[in-house]
Structures are given as structure tokens and as C-alpha cells.
Amino acid sequence: MIKTVRMNIEYDGTRFHGWQVQPNQRTVQGVIEDALAQLLRREVRIHCAGRTDAGVHARGQVASFVTESDFPINSLSRALNGNLPNDIAVHDVFEVPEKFHARYSALSRMYRYTLSERRRALGRNYVWHIKYHLDRHMLMKATEPLIGECNLRGFSKGDDNDDYSTVIVKNEWTFEDDLMIFTIQGIRFFHHAVRSIVGSAVEVARGKEPPGLLEMILAERNRDLAGPTAPAKGLCLERVFYDRDTRVGQA
Amino acid sequence: MIKTVRMNIEYDGTRFHGWQVQPNQRTVQGVIEDALAQLLRREVRIHCAGRTDAGVHARGQVASFVTESDFPINSLSRALNGNLPNDIAVHDVFEVPEKFHARYSALSRMYRYTLSERRRALGRNYVWHIKYHLDRHMLMKATEPLIGECNLRGFSKGDDNDDYSTVIVKNEWTFEDDLMIFTIQGIRFFHHAVRSIVGSAVEVARGKEPPGLLEMILAERNRDLAGPTAPAKGLCLERVFYDRDTRVGQA
């Protein structure tokens, strides 16, 4: 019988060339597909909710796949973790209705970007160490326009003919000692968008650009106005939201 | 003029063979002494508040040294960080009164041990992943006797003729989702003591040993009764307490 299976995945992106399979590169998708193929004894193609670049992390990536294997799904999480390297952890694996697709069924994605004004040894692969002083009030001010319907063309790498419209549901800065954490949740994001938003906000907060920079980039849809793309290591895909976590056979 | 200098140091112990200099091994002390020797143009011997084993981390290690160099101390932190690998961060370097010694002047040390019941990819080098269920109430119950005057002979690696008496000032478990964090502060600790306390508490919390195990180890001073020593990677020297952070020339 054909089953559709969903997995929640955490990974440390440091030693991966991103999510997507590429020849001769260590990728998250490649490593998981290899581990699955061994267990299910057939090739599997997995689809994720949000492809991440090299160095970007995920605490709550979601992937789905379709298989005819009769491997018991409730043993798959444990078996997979036994076969995966220690920079990937599969947290939950369960059967979902046939129409579920990690990417197309996702309602929104939440990313988090972490900056630190202090050099850090512990957790140094998860933060962008900023070497100049940032005005925290300006960080908040700079990103204020990023809410509701937005066109992210000016923050995204890609083809001008594509559609860059999205809806941003939440956008928030939190501060804990030397850490500055930007959380943004939207129905979809585009290549480099979150890192470009953060990079632009940093230019404002260090006083190199006016407070209205991000508003202008949104309006002009011109990437030449955006600040440098923030480094990959500060970014983490925190969570993906779906209508509900429907499991086959559950109420 | 001879100066006594204090440094606050953070390090990720994963790729170090502990604090103490050893021939042909990468140690925290060795790496810092080499970087200091380059800057100060003479050999320096540094002393730390609490030597850590291979794989153990520090967020708030303190070290001191004496030097005749006229290198400006207020530039030393920046210069050192520029010369140190990214798994060490020096946070604060300042001149202290001549009588200050990182080890002998310390009033107490605070360690933190972190366990997780969940496999983790992010931050996996900073937690002990426990593969069985732990009763959180039992963890708290097990470590209750470790407060006030204690003799840690039964938890410590070393010579029976040495003195293992200490005073434990604080001992606390905190729980955050899948994380179980043990914080213990005392005037001094001994080789493997915190890891042996945690390893013993885990035996109680998984139901392999009676709730009174740690009390018995304290009373009997017999290390054969203690549980397996918990892995190094979960342990972090969080902070060292001194009478006050006296700086030379400050009120």
C-alpha cells in the first residue's frame, strides 16, 4: 500500500552544502534519502517545506515522501536516527493523508536570525558576530514595515519575472544579554530574503543607512539598495505551520 | 612594572584536551599561553580558577597571570581574540591587585550540567543525550542532600589521603522542554565530582538505584557506589565568584 509520510527534522547546517541534493556534495536531502533508501530498500525522494542554503540550520524543517515500503512507520524515527550522522536529528515520523506535501501544504514558515555583539566560543556556529555597535531600537524600527502583504523582490536573489509577493504574519526582535534575535513568520520566503532583510536592518542600526531603508527597498523592489546578505550561520528555520498535524487513523 | 592581569574566558571544550598544558596536545592553557607570548613577547604562565577536563566547556572561566610586559592591558582582549582560534573567546582582561590569583582568590565556582531526552543536532556538543526516560522529580530528590558542608570523596577521582571537603552553596534543577539542567555552586569541586554526581542522579531517576543513593555515597565516601561518570560534553564551568572585581585604579 502506498503511504505518505511526514518527518520533522533538526539539523546543524555547518557541514552541509544546504538542503538540496547536488552531485558530490554533502547535503541534508542526500544524507536523509540515503539513510531512508537503506531502511526502506528502495529509492525515496523527499520534499521539504523550505530549502535551506549551505550553513543555514533548521530546528523544525518538515519533509514528506511517498513510499510503498511496508517498513513500520512508527519504528522509522528510531531506525533513521540510528543511521544518520549526529548533525541531523529526526524527531517525529508519521503517516499523513495522501494529499499532504511538506512544501505545498505548508501555511507559513518561521525563521529566526541570531546576532551577537560579543565574540562567542559556545554556539559560535549559530550566531553572526557583529563587530560594531547596533542600536537595538533602530533594528526594530528598520524592520517595522515588514508586516502584512509584502513584495520581497528587493530582498531576494532570483529572476525578475518571478512572483515575490508574500504575507508576513509576524516580525519581532527579542534581546537576551548580548544576543539580538529576529523572528519572522510569513506564508513564503525567497532565496536569501531573510538574510538580506537582516543585513539591511544592520546597516540601519549601525548608522550607515537611514531608518527608512527597508521601506524603500520594499517600495522600489530594487535589490541594489539592500545591505549585504547576512551570513548563513545566524539563520535557522524554526518551524513550519500546517492546517493541523493530521495523522492517518487519528481523530 | 610588574602587573597582575585577570581574564574571563569562554571556550568550547570539544576539540581541546582539557585546560592544562600537556605535551603534544591542544589544550586551552597552551593555546592561550602561546597567543599571549606572541603579544607580550615573553613567556607567560597562566593560572585558572577551575581546571576542566577534555570536552568540558566554560562560559566563565577565569585566569590570571603576572607579567612585566608594557603591552597596554586595555587593548589585550581585542588583540588576543584576534590571535585565538574561534573556539576560545576572551571577554574581559583587566589589571587586578598583585595578590589576586584566579584559583586561590576564588570564593566559589558554579557549574552547569545539561541533559536531554531528545536527540539534538543543534548544540549537540553541549548536552548529554539520555536514551531512557528520567523521572524529573527523582532527579531533584536524588541531589537534595548535596547542600552545605559535604565531603565529596565518594564522587571524586583521586588520592584517598586528600581532603574532599567543600561547602555547596546552591544546587538546582531547571527544566526547559526536553532539557534538564543541573546547576551546582560550591566553594570547591574535585576531579570528576560534578559528572559523578550527575551520573549517580541519573541512575536514581531512571529507576536503577534507590532515591537515597547520593546520600549514601556522601556518608560512605565510597566511589564504588557512584553511578557512571556523566560524559564531559554536558558540563560547563559557568561562573567563578570573587570577593569583588577589584580593578587596579578603580574605586
Residues of chain A with pLDDT under 50: 250-251
Give dist(CA B67, CA B83) in Å, integer.
19
> Please, which pLDDT band fits residue B1 given cuts at 50, 70 and 90?
confident
> Which residue of chain B has the CA closest to A117?
B91
* Residue that wins the pLDDT comparison between A5 and B250: A5
Across residues B168-176, what is the average pLDDT? Answer: 97
Distance (Å) from the C-alpha of residue A74 to the closest C-alpha of chain B? 16
Q: Which residues in chain B are contacts of A122 at CB distance < 8 A?
A: 10-12, 57, 59, 126, 236
Q: Express as a percent the part of chain B with pLDDT over 90.
A: 91
The pTM assigned to this predicted structure is 0.92
Grid coordinates given for A65: 515522501
Instruction: Assign B163 a pLDDT band (cuts: 50, 70, 90).
Output: very high
Minimum-distance CB partner of B12 among A57, A119, A121? A121
pLDDT single digits (tens) B99-147: 999 999 999 999 999 999 999 999 999 999 999 899 999 999 999 999 9
DSSP state at residue B203: H
Indicate if the pLDDT at residue B25 is higher than 90.
Answer: yes
Strand ranges for B152-219 from DSSP E: 165-176, 179-186
Place of cell 549526529: A86
pLDDT tier at B171, thresholds 50, 70, 90: very high
Among residues B56, B60, B49, B62, the alpha carbon closest in space to that of B12 is found at B56
Query: Please, which pLDDT band fits residue B161 given cuts at 50, 70 and 90?
Result: confident
Instruction: Report the C-alpha gap between B95 and B244 in whole angstroms.
Output: 13
Distance from CA of B123 to the nearest CA of A (A): 7
pLDDT at position B249 over 70:
no
pLDDT of residue A246: 60
Please report the ipTM that was assigned to this predicted complex.
Answer: 0.91
Choose among A59, A90, A121: nearest Cβ to B11.
A121
Quick one: pLDDT at residue B251?
40
Distance CA B246, CA B251 (A): 8
* Residue B43 burial (C-beta neighbours within 10 Å; 0-12, 13-18, 19+): exposed
Mean pLDDT of all residues belonging to chain B = 94
Nearest C-alpha neighbor of B180 from the set B119, B114, B226: B114
